[in-house]
């Protein structure tokens, strides 16, 4: 998995977990993604270094910075729109979901805008 894709997966996962739980910790990300604890630890530390999240050293709680939340929301929007587009052209829900998850990390902003316009019509 490329660095950008991995980073985006962590951000999207944290965003979705925050919609379900009041506090999110690295262990929640481990359980959700089924990644090794060491991989998630490295990923979370990278997100901290890049200024996308903060990590409370006492509780382990993860919080978004404003730029991190904005980036996570944009990634999740791509996921939702791409899933809808794939379903709109005939893909089954589970196939659309799985493939949207892969496409969201590589699609250009220009093509995403075209697909979003298609879905909104």
Residue 3 is predicted with a pLDDT of: 56
Residue 61 is predicted with a pLDDT of: 97
Longest distance between any two alpha carbons in the chain, whole Å: 48
Residue in the block written with tokens 């052209």: 89
Domains, the chain, ordered by start: 3-65 (1.10.10.10), 70-120 (1.10.60.10)
Task: List the chain residues with pLDDT less than 50.
Answer: 1
Q: Give pTM, 2 decimals.
A: 0.90
Which residues share a beta bridge with 25? 61
Compute the CA torsion angle 84, 66, 10, 71 (nearest 10 deg): 40
Residue 2 is predicted with a pLDDT of: 55
CB distance 29 to 13 below 8 Å: yes
| Exposed/middle/buried for residue 43 (C-beta within 10 Å: 0-12, 13-18, 19+) | buried
Q: Which two tokens stand for residue 40?
A: 């998630």
Residue in the block written with tokens 């991190």: 68
The number of CA neighbours under 13 Å toward the Cβ of 103 is: 20
Residue 5 is predicted with a pLDDT of: 85
Q: What's the Rg (C-alpha) of the chain?
A: 15
Residue 4 is predicted with a pLDDT of: 80
């Amino acid at each position: 998995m490329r660095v950008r894709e991995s980073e985006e997966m962590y951000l999207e996962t944290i965003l979705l977990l925050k919609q379900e739980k009041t506090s999110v910790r690295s262990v929640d990300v481990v359980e959700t993604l089924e990644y090794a604890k060491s991989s998630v630890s490295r990923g979370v530390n990278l997100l901290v270094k890049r200024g996308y999240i903060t990590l409370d050293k006492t509780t382990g709680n993860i919080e978004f910075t404003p730029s991190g939340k904005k980036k996570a929301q944009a990634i999740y929007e791509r996921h939702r729109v791409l899933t809808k587009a794939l379903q709109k052209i005939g893909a089954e829900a589970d196939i659309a979901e799985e493939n949207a998850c892969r496409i969201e990390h590589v699609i250009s902003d220009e093509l995403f805008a075209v697909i979003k316009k298609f879905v909104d019509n």
